[in-house]
A and B are shown apart, each in its own frame.
Chain A
Amino acid sequence: MAKLELKNLNKTYTPKVIPVKDISLTVDDNQFLSLLGPSGCGKSTTLRMIAGLEEPTHGRILLGNEDITFKRPGDRNMAMVFQSYALYPHMTVYENLASGLKLKKTPHAEIQHRVKEVSQLLGLEDLLHRKPGQLSGGQRQRVAVGRALVRRAQVYLLDEPLSNLDALLRERVRADIKQIFATQKVPVVYVTHDQTEAMTLSTKVAVLNNGYVQQLDSPARIYNHPANLFVAGFVGSPQMNLLTLPCQTNYAVLGDSKIPLPDFPTVPPQIVLGIRPENVRIAQPEDQQTIRGQVYLVENLGMHNLVSVRVTGSDAAPLSVRALLPPDQSWSDEEITLALPPQNVHWFDVHSGDALHSTHSYPAS
């Protein structure tokens, strides 16, 4: 049981290729941290550095209080689940599960006990004598997870383990993973580009982009209080409405409407307004902050309608707002009035992308 710390990790291949620029974070026992970001953001490289498969150019990695930055992967007592599962094709499932333990010269009886335990947990008992080539994708994935669990490691690392599963299976396995790792009391680091996975599985999420940590927070805070434009746009589906608006005194001009700005120290000439489609609703009489517009596109998502509205008064530079509305709601074809509740409106700096708050600002990491 030990705390995993990354301090100012940097990985530079060539002066032009720097996948990880500066990443610091901590994962305590019982914490499930997701590294979330688009491809190329540095999440896989970071995971590989934690595992010891890559060497950081700068920075340190600590486990407990031990500096393990340059320790061999096999000596770190970490277990990893790979995206492609990486099962040894010429070994049976049993041998795959046991391989790590055999190398550490674990006694035979202990190996048998642990393999039995894990295969029961994952439903692999009947498959122990098969080879990976004879298993389905889902079964192989479970063996990959099992191979990691059997090690009783100090840290678990998972590299997009669900990407190769089909959508239905993915949901089920996601739930399984959550349950399994809830009982493990060690740090878990999980890499994914899928925000649903990150949000549902983790206790903490680190959103990465371009080699930096954009925000490190609980899933709820990441969702409700994105620290910058990137996080706001990346997390949440359908994507948050992000509108660049000119400002006047203490208003932002959105077409014909004026949206009052919170209490900023200075009023910038331009600002980005963000609001999630699910927070936009058809205006009720008591709503004060509203905009008017015309519906030009309706996408039926089953549980909701995603309605795209062109804001009136913005003809010079058309602005559109998307709203997630209940399926039974209707609106007139000429004009629709939408409410933008102030408590759901986010403001971002046009140049830096950082979130703007009236009383204090959050750091980006």
Chain B
Amino acid sequence: MTNLQTIRHREQQTAWIFLLPALLLLLFVFGYPIARAFWLSLFTQNLGTQLQPVFSGLDNYLRMAGDGRFWQSFWTTIILTISTVSLEILLGLGIALVLNQQFFCRGVVRTIAILPWALPTALIALAWAWIFNDQFGVANDILLRLGLIKTGINWLGEPTLALIALIFADVWKTTPFVSILLLAGLQSISSDLYEAHAIDGATSWQSFYKITLPLLMPQILIAILFRFAQAFGVFDLVAVMTGGGPGGATEVVSLYIYSTVMRYLDFGYGSALVVVTFLLLIAGVAIASFLLNKSRLSKGNT
């Protein structure tokens, strides 16, 4: 005779009651907009249709395929993402290694290291725009004083330079976050391993390659995953620092979507853009997770 799982059932009930409010809110704020975008992308709804939705099937997607501005923004986003994420990983790893050591006033240094991440991106963008100002900016001033350039560079007025300025600002802002993730990973590596390796005769560099890097790989991949997703959706920094200029040179995908919706009032097309961005994001995350799993399995990870 089997017994009814009454205690377990009560546990389940309570669990779901506890979960429901949070889950409902999450579903509403995260799920609904995405679903709505999928739906609306099948309609044309813009000034041309007096802002009424008209069913148009896959028209929006076809339009996207030929939309030069979209592909331009996509390309810009990719460049920005890859540059910033790679730099942040390298720099973040270096900083994490430094922060991992014991030294005098480590706490203060750690505090300072978190600051860039904690401050509002929009305000930081203002600060960086000021630094890269072509007439009065500090960047030009320093380069001039060092004799590296003859006249002030018009950072935000030149497409490539503006991109470089953005990369600089973004790396500054987000490297702390990456370094904290990596720091957590570093601290979980037992010092026994290093000691044993050293007794075997390894130098610091060898220990780094043979022990630190492999064991840190999961954290690095997680950091890459997070940063990739975040960088893909970058908005604040670009909107405030360059506004997408000069002439659309730094217009990233999110900015294009924003102006499509808010300025051109092209809701159907905007939704299609959202859908495509979403799918690309999911694809990127899936690939990264796959790689992450592979690296975990091949390590028989702790």
Binding site for B on A (CB under 8 A): 52, 55-59, 69-70, 72
Q: Bound complex: CA of A56 vs CA of B1, how far in Å?
A: 12
CB-based closest 5 A-B pairs:
A70-B6, A55-B7, A70-B7, A55-B8, A55-B5
Closest-by-CB residue of A relative to B5 is A55
Main secondary structure of the interface of B (DSSP, over half): loop
Nearest A-chain residue to B1, judged by Cβ: A58
Q: Which of B1, B2, B4 contacts A70 (CB 8 A)?
A: B4
Residue B3 CB within 8 A of the other chain? yes
Q: Which B residues are in CB contact (< 8 Å) with A69?
A: 3
What is B's interface to A at a CB cutoff of 8 Å? Answer: 1-8, 10
17 further interface pairs, Cβ-Cβ under 8 Å (given A58-B1, A58-B3, A72-B10) = A52-B7, A55-B3, A55-B5, A55-B6, A55-B7, A55-B8, A56-B3, A57-B2, A57-B3, A58-B2, A59-B3, A69-B3, A70-B3, A70-B4, A70-B6, A70-B7, A72-B7
Show 20 residue pairs from A and B whose CB-CB distance is below 8 angstroms, ordered by the A residue: A52-B7, A55-B3, A55-B5, A55-B6, A55-B7, A55-B8, A56-B3, A57-B2, A57-B3, A58-B1, A58-B2, A58-B3, A59-B3, A69-B3, A70-B3, A70-B4, A70-B6, A70-B7, A72-B7, A72-B10
Q: Chain A residues with Cβ under 8 A from B10's Cβ? A: 72
Complex Cα gap A69–B2 (Å): 12
Q: How far is the CB of A237 from chain B (nearest CB, A)?
A: 38
CA distance A55 to B11 in the complex (A): 11
CB distance from A248 to the nearest CB of B (A): 50
Q: Which residues of A contact B3 (CB under 8 A)?
A: 55-59, 69-70
Chain B nearest CB from A62 CB (Å) reads 14
The docked-state distance in angstroms from the alpha carbon of A52 to that of B7 is: 8
In the docked arrangement, what's the CA distance between A58 and B5, Å? 10
How distant is the Cα of A59 from the Cα of B2 in the complex, in angstroms?
Answer: 8
- Give the CA-CA distance A69 to B8 in the complex, in Å: 12
The CA of A86 and the CA of B8, in the complex, are separated in Å by 23
A148 to chain B, nearest CB (A): 22
Bound-complex Cα distance A56 to B6 (A): 10
What is the CA–CA distance of A267 and B2 in the complex, to the nearest angstrom? 43
Of all chain B residues, which has the CB nearest A70? B6
In the bound complex, residues from chain B placing their C-beta under 8 Å from that of A55 are 3, 5-8
- Rounded to whole angstroms, the CA-CA distance of A52 and B8 in the bound complex is 11
Please, how many angstroms separate the alpha-carbon atoms of A52 and B6 in the complex?
11
Q: Which residues of B contact A72 (CB under 8 A)?
A: 7, 10
B1: chain A residues at CB < 8 Å are 58
B8 contacts which chain A residues (CB < 8 A)? 55
Q: How far is the CB of B277 from chain A (nearest CB, A)?
A: 44
Measured CB to CB, the nearest residue on chain A to B7 is A55
Q: What's the least CB distance linking A299 to chain B, in Å? A: 38
Chain B CB within 10 Å — which of A58, A59, A69, A70 has the most?
A70
The docked-state distance in angstroms from the alpha carbon of A72 to that of B9 is: 12
A192 → chain B, closest Cβ, in Å?
A: 26
Minimal beta-carbon separation of B9 from chain A (angstroms): 9
- Complex formed: what's the CA distance from A59 to B6 in Å? 14
CB distance from B14 to the nearest CB of A (A): 11
Q: CA–CA, A56 to B2, complex, Å?
A: 10
Q: Which residues of B contact A56 (CB under 8 A)?
A: 3
Docked Cα-Cα span, A70 to B7, in Å, equals: 6
* Bound complex: CA A116 to CA B8 (Å): 38
- Smallest Cβ distance from A15 to chain B, in angstroms? 15
A54 to chain B, nearest CB (A): 8
A52 closest partner in B (C-beta): B7
**Cα–Cα distance between A56 and B4 once the two chains are bound (Å):** 10
Cβ of A70: which chain B residues have Cβ within 8 Å of it?
Answer: 3-4, 6-7
* A121–B8 CA distance with the chains assembled, in angstroms: 38
Whole-angstrom distance between the Cβ of B212 and the nearest chain A Cβ: 38
Q: Closest Cβ of chain A: how far from B6's Cβ, in Å? A: 4
B6 — which chain A residues lie within 8 A by C-beta? 55, 70
Taking the closest CB of chain B, its distance from the CB of A72, in whole angstroms, is: 7
When distances are taken between beta carbons in the complex, the residues of chain B under 8 Å from A59 are 3
CB closest residue in chain B, given A59: B3
Measured CB to CB, the closest approach of chain A to B79, in angstroms, equals: 52
| Nearest-CB residue, chain B, relative to A60 | B3
B15 to A: closest C-beta gap in Å = 15
A59 to B10, CA, bound (A): 19
Could you tell me the distance between the alpha carbons of A353 and B3 in the complex, rounded to whole angstroms? 33
Q: How far is the CA of A58 from the CA of B10 in the complex (A)?
A: 18
Query: Chain A residues with Cβ under 8 A from B7's Cβ?
Result: 52, 55, 70, 72
Closest CB in chain A relative to B219 CB, distance in Å: 33
A20 to chain B, nearest CB (A): 14
Query: In the complex, A52→B4 CA distance in Å?
Result: 14
Once the chains are docked, how many angstroms separate the CA of A69 from the CA of B1? Answer: 14
What residues of chain A lie closer than 8 Å to B2, measured between beta carbons? 57-58
Distance between Cα atoms of A282 and B7 in the complex (Å):
60
Q: Which residue of B lies closest to A54 (CB)?
A: B7
Chain A's closest residue to B2 (CB) is A58
Min CB gap A92→B, angstroms: 29
Most buried by B among A55, A58, A59, A69: A55
Report the Cα distance A56→B8, complex, angstroms. 11
B56: min CB distance to chain A, Å? 55
Q: Which residue of B lies closest to A53 (CB)?
A: B7
CA distance A261 to B6 in the complex (A): 54
Quick one: closest B residue to A73, CB to CB? B7
List, in ascending order, chain B residues with CB within 8 A of A58's CB.
Answer: 1-3
> In the bound complex, how far is the Cα of B11 from the Cα of A52, in angstroms?
13
Whole-angstrom distance between the Cβ of A93 and the nearest chain B Cβ: 30
* Residues of B with C-beta under 8 A to A52: 7
**Complex Cα distance A57/B1, Å?**
9
Cα–Cα, bound, A184→B6 (Å) = 32
A115 to chain B minimum Cβ distance, whole angstroms, is: 30
| Cα distance A70–B2 in the bound complex, in angstroms | 13
CA distance A241 to B2 in the complex (A): 43
Residue of B nearest to A69 (CB): B3
Question: Given the complex of chains A and B, what is the CA–CA distance between A329 and B198 in angstroms?
Answer: 59
